[in-house]
Amino acid sequence: MSIDKEYAHDWIENNKKRLIEISDKVWEFAELGLIEFKSSALLADELEKQGFRVERGIAGMPTAFVATWGEGKPVIGVMGEYDALPGLSQKKVPWKEPLEPGKPGHGCGHNVHGASGMAAAIAAKKAMEKHKIKGTIKFFGCPAEENFSGKVFMVRDGYFHDVNAVISHHPNTMNGATLESSLAVNSVKFHFYGKASHAGDSPEHGRSALDAVELMNTGVNYLREHVIQDARIHYVIEKGGDQPNVVPPYARSWYYVRAPERDQVEFIYDWILDIARGAAIMTRTELKVEFLEGVYNYIPNRTTAELIVKNMREIGLPKYSDEDWKFAEEIAKTIAPEMKIAQLKKSKRPGWERLVDKLLDDEIPDPWGEGETSHGSTDVADVSWQAPTVEFGTATGVIGTPGHSWQDVAESGVGLGHKSLIFAAKVMVATVIDLLTKEDILKKANEEHRRRIGNKKYRSPIPPDHKPPLDIWEK
Ligand SMILES: [Zn+2]
pLDDT at res. 456: 95
Q: Helix, strand, or coil here: 350?
A: coil
Gap from CA of 33 to ligand 1 centroid (Å):
12
- 161 with 386: CB under 8 angstroms? yes
Gap from CA of 195 to ligand 1 centroid (Å):
41
Average confidence (pLDDT) over 459-466: 93
Residue 475 pLDDT greater than 80, yes or no: no
Gap from CA of 270 to ligand 1 centroid (Å):
28
- 139 with 121: CB under 8 angstroms? yes
Residue 5 pLDDT greater than 80, yes or no: yes
pLDDT at res. 474: 83
Gap from CA of 80 to ligand 1 centroid (Å):
10
| C-alpha span between 152 and 325 (Å, rounded) | 39
Gap from CA of 242 to ligand 1 centroid (Å):
35
**pLDDT tens-place string over residues 36-57:** 999 999 999 999 999 999 999 9
Residue 285 pLDDT greater than 90, yes or no: yes
pLDDT interval class at 439 (50, 70, 90): very high
φ/ψ of 347, rounded to 5, equals: -65, -20
| C-alpha span between 174 and 397 (Å, rounded) | 8
Q: Pseudo-torsion of CA 189, 192, 193, 195, nearest 10°?
A: -150
Gap from CA of 144 to ligand 1 centroid (Å):
10
pLDDT interval class at 283 (50, 70, 90): very high
Gap from CA of 404 to ligand 1 centroid (Å):
8
- 4 with 433: CB under 8 angstroms? yes
Gap from CA of 127 to ligand 1 centroid (Å):
29
Residue 95 pLDDT greater than 80, yes or no: yes
Gap from CA of 309 to ligand 1 centroid (Å):
20
Gap from CA of 108 to ligand 1 centroid (Å):
5
pLDDT at res. 134: 98
Return the exposure string of 388-410: e unless at least 16 CB atoms fall within 10 Å of the residue's CB, then b: bbbbbbbbbbbbbbbbebbbbbb
pLDDT at res. 344: 96
| C-alpha span between 102 and 396 (Å, rounded) | 24
Nearest to 37 by CA among 82, 99, 85: 82
Gap from CA of 281 to ligand 1 centroid (Å):
39
Nearest to 110 by CA among 138, 150, 74: 150
Gap from CA of 449 to ligand 1 centroid (Å):
24
Gap from CA of 113 to ligand 1 centroid (Å):
8
φ/ψ of 251, rounded to 5, equals: -150, 155
pLDDT at res. 251: 98
φ/ψ of 87, rounded to 5, equals: 75, 5
Average confidence (pLDDT) over 190-199: 98
**pLDDT tens-place string over residues 7-21:** 999 999 999 999 999
pLDDT interval class at 101 (50, 70, 90): very high
Residue 234 pLDDT greater than 80, yes or no: yes
**pLDDT tens-place string over residues 240-254:** 999 999 999 999 999
φ/ψ of 339, rounded to 5, equals: -70, -40
Gap from CA of 170 to ligand 1 centroid (Å):
7
Gap from CA of 54 to ligand 1 centroid (Å):
24
Average confidence (pLDDT) over 293-301: 97
pLDDT at res. 266: 97
Report the chain's mean pLDDT, rounded to a whole number.
Answer: 97
- 85 with 106: CB under 8 angstroms? yes
Residue 400 CA: distances (Å) to CA of 146, 336, 356, 407: 21, 8, 9, 10
pLDDT at res. 472: 83
| C-alpha span between 391 and 329 (Å, rounded) | 28
Residue 162 CA: distances (Å) to CA of 75, 76, 121, 291, 415: 7, 9, 17, 29, 37
Gap from CA of 82 to ligand 1 centroid (Å):
9
Gap from CA of 421 to ligand 1 centroid (Å):
14
Average confidence (pLDDT) over 193-207: 97
Gap from CA of 69 to ligand 1 centroid (Å):
26
Q: What is the DSSP string of 168-201?
A: EEEEESS-B----B--EEEEEEEEEE-B--BTTT
pLDDT interval class at 97 (50, 70, 90): very high
pLDDT at res. 42: 98
pLDDT at res. 25: 98
Gap from CA of 396 to ligand 1 centroid (Å):
12
pLDDT at res. 147: 86
